[in-house]
Amino acid sequence: MKRKLSFPFIVFLTLILNLYSCSKTEKTEYTNAIPANATGLAAIDMKAIVEKAGLNSAGNQDFQKKFLGLLLEGSTPTLGTQIEKLLKNPAETGIDWETPVYVFNAPSLHSMTAALKVNDLKKLESLIDMLAKENICTIPTKADKYSTTEIKDAGIQLAFNDGTLLAIYAQSTTQLKKLSAAIAMLMKQPADKSIHTNEHFDSMMKQRGDIRLLATPEVLPFDMRGVLNWPQNTRLTGSVLFENGKIYANLQRAGFNGETKESNQPFHPQSNQELLQAMMQMMQGKPFNIELTSNELLTLTNLHAIMEFEPDNTEVNTLYGLIMKIETLNARGDNNRTTFTVTLKEKGQNSLKQLVDFARQFIGL
């Protein structure tokens, strides 16, 4: 005999299911926090960066200890031990380091912001609780569907939930308070308001690089903006790739798939006047292919003469050491695409590892 469920029982069961579904935290998509109108966006492959820089190699342990000693000077031994554990196993932070870290400029914030994927909220909360006990950040405050904490004396706020971590730099606590409404909007932003609706986001992510870019000329360094001379509000995509002995970087008009029209024969300026003339052609949108060797760079920067007068100048010696690592520096393209290639003298080692080792030597680590 079929047993019928009573109406009161059905009502009770429906109520319980509704309460359960309401109390269950829905995991958010971290890229939804990036607005569609972000003026500058970089997707950083942290896993590739760490590997290419050699930061996870066995021979890097001494550097890590020295660096942590400087970073955590004055802190408790407990904190140092915990941070060492996290460096050995970054997954314990609760952050998914296999996915890109996005750094962007949002018009509503007027500040640099990073978006990271949270794959274990409990681990992230444990980390933040530990930092709060060490007085590095404030005790987390609950907001609508997310929590916040501030890194003390750094002007950085962390906003996080199950899926998304935003790190917002605003210089001061006062400025962060002014941004609270904008931060709330980004943390609760739906997909149809996010970067996923930007027509150039997919083409940006298809770029081959350790760092992929989507930007407007306004966010570029002033010197580069003036020389490349793209019209205001032009959408640009680009990338940076670190390979053995070479660094490749490019910027182009978003959606451009054609060929650039520069000569295959590079021009080597022998004086500042010749370099200035070549840069003027770039500003006029004419095709260019400019290349400099390390010796030509030394001549154009007048570094040899400066070193004779200031042989003990640290900055001069550092610049000299950096230039001497370069074989050639090349910039080529036209007003549709510009490609930069730095060729280093050492071909058997990744270019990023060489730069990191040079920086470590410079700072004495």
pTM of the model: 0.86
Q: Among 108-122, 175-189, 216-230, which stretch is predicted with the lowest mean pLDDT?
A: 216-230
- How far is the C-alpha of 289 from the C-alpha of 337, rounded, in Å? 12
Mean pLDDT of 278-282: 86
Q: Which residue has the tokens 């971590």?
A: 165
Give which of 266, 264, 262 is closest to 285, Cα–Cα: 262
Mean pLDDT of 202-209: 94
Q: How confident is the model at residue 219 (pLDDT cuts 50, 70, 90)?
A: confident
pLDDT tens by residue, 35-90: 999 989 999 999 999 999 988 777 677 766 776 666 666 667 777 788 888 888 89
Note the pLDDT tens digit of each residue in 224-251. Answer: 766 777 777 789 999 999 999 999 999 9
Q: How far apart are CA 9 and CA 207, in angstroms?
A: 57
Q: Which residue has the higher pLDDT, 184 or 81?
A: 184
Question: How high is the pLDDT of residue 74?
Answer: 64
The larger pLDDT score, comparing residue 284 to residue 349, is at 349
The answer, yes or no, to whether residue 297 has pLDDT greater than 90, is: yes
Tell me the torsion sign for CA atoms 177, 123, 45, 343. Answer: positive
CB contact set of 136 (below 8 Å; sequence gap of 6+): 75, 79, 151, 152
> Looking at residue 5, what is its pLDDT?
43
- The mean of the pLDDT values for the chain is 86
Q: What is the mean pLDDT of residues 275-300?
A: 91
pLDDT at position 16:
41
For residue 61, CA distances in Å to 54, 64, 65, 68, 365 come to 11, 5, 6, 10, 11
Alpha carbon distance 68, 77 (integer Å):
11
